[in-house]
Chains A and B, each alone.
Chain A
Amino acid sequence: MATSPTPAAERENYLNTEYGIRSWLLTTDHKRIALLYLLLITFFFFIGGFFALLIRLELLTPAGDLVQADTYNKLFTMHGQVMVFFFLIPAIPAVLGNFLIPIMIGAKDLAFPRINLFSWYLLVIGGLLMMYTILTGGADTGWTFYPPFSTAFAKSQVVTAALAIFVAGFSSILTGLNFIVTIHRMRAPGMTWSRLPLFVWANYATSIIQVLGTPVLAITLMLVALDRLFAFGIFDPQRGGDPLLFQHLFWFYSHPAVYIMILPGMGVVSEVVSCFSRKRIFGYKFMALALIAIAVLGFLVWAHHMFVAGISLYAALVFSLLSYLVAVPSAIKVFNWTATMYKGSISYATPMLYAFGFIGLFTMGGLTGLFLAALGVDVHVTDTYFVIAHFHYIMVGGMVMAYIGGLHFWWPKISGRMYPEAWGKLAALIIFVGFNLTFFPQFVLGYLGMPRRYWQYSPEFQVLNVLSTAGATILAVGYVLPMVYFLWSMRYGKVADENPWGAAGLEWMTASPPPTFNFDETPVVTWEAYDYANLKEVPVEP
């Protein structure tokens, strides 16, 4: 540790063992596949972001002037589908999880390296179908595909969009399957379940949802496609089919899907908070159990998306209560992060700033979720901007913050270089400000009654909409910045040693970047997770 770090280029590692496009496209190394995912989902992040920017531009003025109503429907549909299925769901598991899980548990690779590569290709194929959908006019059903509009009335590319998501779904399923088996069967000697980093626990919980939930979405979308292609009419009310059944099946996946997006983020935050507080995570066992509890409870609350859709009052009562229950493990997480920081020696490196952002914004997103789980309030704010603001606080304020924070935290490990810290802090600040300016006004707009999914609105909503659009512009700058300096740092960044943060965890005990098989010798673990008390004091860079 004390010796000056060797530049990556002089030592054999996963990046320089082989060169050329073939060595990447046919790789089975989980670290290289993680980078393939990084490229792919970054591309889709900017596609989805482009649609978001067009939406915000249209909403700058009350009149529907920039685009036509039909175009607007397609914009928010493609924004949602691209962001959810091609960015948020793969983001942390497929990039950071793929890279880190085998290293964190002391394995050479995931259990099924070829299936791992296959999952990436599935996402590529799904992505191509999505691009085809977009370039041939897009779908206009909203990301939710509700029938009978999607099955009987929509005159857009519903089938290819459904197919794209179907294929991407199997990518997600196989990733989850790979993680579950890896975590069960590939742990190094001594790496017991109670010594697993919470990031691994978080991805384990996520994988359970991916494996149990995604197939239900897959078959549901297939039934929609069969209806459009061959008039199967399983959800067609004219034929006695039940559109509510579609909603039940759709949300059976799509509520837990929110936890596919947020649980891995909680994992990232646990690692970061513990490292930059120099303390063992408070209540480790509760933290791990809370992750599993959220995954399990998440399967029992789906109908809170349907309170005004015509389900029975008693069902609504039960689903409302169960939805409140999710708040318990979620609160445990927030309290324990706070307790971890209490009396810790906190340093404010960039990843920690993102962790702060996550904790605050996730709390707001979670608490407003309780408003929505309350039957009476929900009736008032259903399908308004309040809902939009709520889930963007979870998905963008929570998940994207954690993802970018995690990228910063593990960037030295991934690339072997440090990102520029000052720029990192600046970008984190810009993102935080831009995010809140974009989405906080939407809480107010929604509460005042502005409905979602309209391309024009009453003039009295304009001030708040202008604020939101201004925020979105700032947010866009904040997202472009890290991309620029990450790329810059790959060549010009300071060379990172194996453990620049002085962090606990096996990933920090191997070289940066790691060798192809992660460790020169399989490690034997004899210490607990987050053993900061016994780590030698390492000065953390500012």
Chain B
Amino acid sequence: MSHSPAVVTHDQVHNPALQHHFATMEQQQEASTMGMWVFLITEIMFFGGMFTAYMVYRYMYYQAFVAGSEKMDFWWGTINTVVLICSSLTMALAVRSSQIGQRKALVVLLIITMLFGCVFMGIKAIEYTGHWKEHQFPGTNFHFEGPDPQHVEIFFSLYWAMTGFHALHMLIGIIIVGVIAFYSWRGKYGPDYYNPVENVGLYWHFVDMVWIYLYPLLYLISHKHGG
């Protein structure tokens, strides 16, 4: 055969975190960051299905959506929005701490991020309990005084589905931040290897972003137009 493969020699010192199938740390880092971005694109498409349904039905049943939105607890939703924005800040600071090798700050910031996540979930649980008691869960349990209860029910179906899948993502986020916090405490990450922290951070910001859209779409419809 006329072309025989030439050879790349590399006898650099290996970082212990370098996996066997990558040539360099840069290659490994670029690959895992890109993998996370591609994953987030799939997540956008996943939530996109529900956002599409929301748009269609909000267009069709606008008044019912306003009526449903008025049953949301404005303050709990707003507090949760603030909580998540704060958690994004602590997450971003955590990534920075790992990059400049501040192990203690990294662990503390990750734990604070988790706590913010837990606060969010707690508030969400309070809201869910309230909606359940108010017969605002779709199905046979559902009851709504006022015009057009069927279409208000669609609003609530979307509310539960969208916030439910978001909460599921939060739960997963809290768990993986916990895992990362554990490894940070063990000193696994530093200026030479902080990619996992960065990727978990990307995921966390994404989940926050979803909420940033859910909040106005679900809680603020009536506020914008004065009910």
Contacts and interface: CB of A to CB of B under 8 A. Distances in A.
Contacts of A186: 21-22, 27, 31
A234 B61 contact: no
Interface stretch (B1-9, B120-128, B173-181): B1-9
Interface in B140-167: 140, 150-151, 153-154, 157-158, 160-161, 165
Query: 6 nearest interchain CB pairs?
Result: A523-B5, A231-B139, A219-B49, A215-B46, A109-B21, A108-B21
A531 interface: yes
Interface stretch (A237-245, A271-279, A374-382, A410-418): A237-245
B3 A527 contact: yes
A249 B48 CA distance: 10
B42 A519 contact: no
Given A226-B161, A234-B158, A524-B6, A509 B46 contact: no
Interface stretch (B32-40, B106-114, B215-223): B32-40
Given A112-B32, A219-B49, 4 more contacts: A113-B21, A239-B150, A248-B52, A535-B1
A223 B154 contact: no
Contacts of B6: 523-524, 526
Interface of B: 1-9, 19-23, 27, 30-32, 34-35, 38-39, 41-43, 45-50, 52-53, 56-57, 60-61, 137-140, 150-151, 153-154, 157-158, 160-161, 165
Contacts of B8: 188-189, 521-522, 524
Contact of A524 (B5, B27, B31, B56): B5
A139 interface: no
12 contacts: A1-B1, A112-B35, A173-B42, A177-B39, A184-B31, A184-B34, A186-B21, A211-B45, A216-B45, A223-B50, A223-B161, A523-B7
Contacts of B42: 173, 177, 211-212, 214-215
A238 B41 CA distance: 34
Contacts of B20: 108-109, 517
B186 to A, nearest CB: 20
Contacts of B32: 111-112
Nearest to B56: A245
A249 B38 contact: no
Given A177-B35, A216-B46, A245-B56, A531 B3 contact: yes
Nearest to B7: A521
Chain A: number of interface residues, binned into ranges: 35 or more
Nearest to B164: A226
Contacts of B34: 180-181, 184-185
A101 interface: no
B157 A211 contact: no
Contacts of A222: 161, 165
Nearest to A235: B53
A107 B19 CA distance: 13
B48 to A, nearest CB: 7
Given A226-B161, A240-B151, A517-B21, A185 B27 contact: yes
Interface of A: 1, 106-113, 115, 173, 177-178, 180-182, 184-186, 188-189, 211-216, 218-220, 222-223, 226, 230-234, 239-242, 245, 248-249, 499, 506, 509, 517, 519, 521-527, 531, 534-536
Given A506-B5, A524-B7, A249 B39 contact: no
A232 B138 CA distance: 6
Nearest to A211: B42
B52 A239 contact: no
A521 B5 contact: yes
Nearest to B158: A234
Contacts of A242: 56-57, 60
Main secondary structure of the interface of B (DSSP, over half): helix
Nearest to B149: A239
B5 A233 contact: no
Contacts of A245: 52-53, 56
Given A186-B31, A231-B138, A212 B41 contact: yes
A239 B148 CA distance: 10
A240 B157 contact: no
Contacts of A521: 5, 7-9
Contacts of A519: 5
A37 B2 CA distance: 35
A531 B4 CA distance: 13
A1 B3 CA distance: 12
A52 B61 CA distance: 44
Contacts of A188: 8
| B34, B39, B157 pick with most chain A CB within 10 angstroms | B157
Nearest to B139: A231
Nearest to B38: A177
Nearest to A212: B45
Nearest to A174: B39
A152 to B, nearest CB: 12
A239 B153 CA distance: 8
Contacts of A241: 57, 154
A509 to B, nearest CB: 6
| A107, A218, A231, A527 pick with most chain B CB within 10 angstroms | A231
A223 B53 contact: yes
A223 B161 CA distance: 8
B166 to A, nearest CB: 12
Contacts of B52: 245, 248-249
Contacts of B151: 239-240
A92 B127 CA distance: 47
Nearest to B44: A215
Nearest to A30: B21
| B8, B50, B53, B60 pick with most chain A CB within 10 angstroms | B53
B216 to A, nearest CB: 21
Contacts of A115: 35
B14 to A, nearest CB: 14
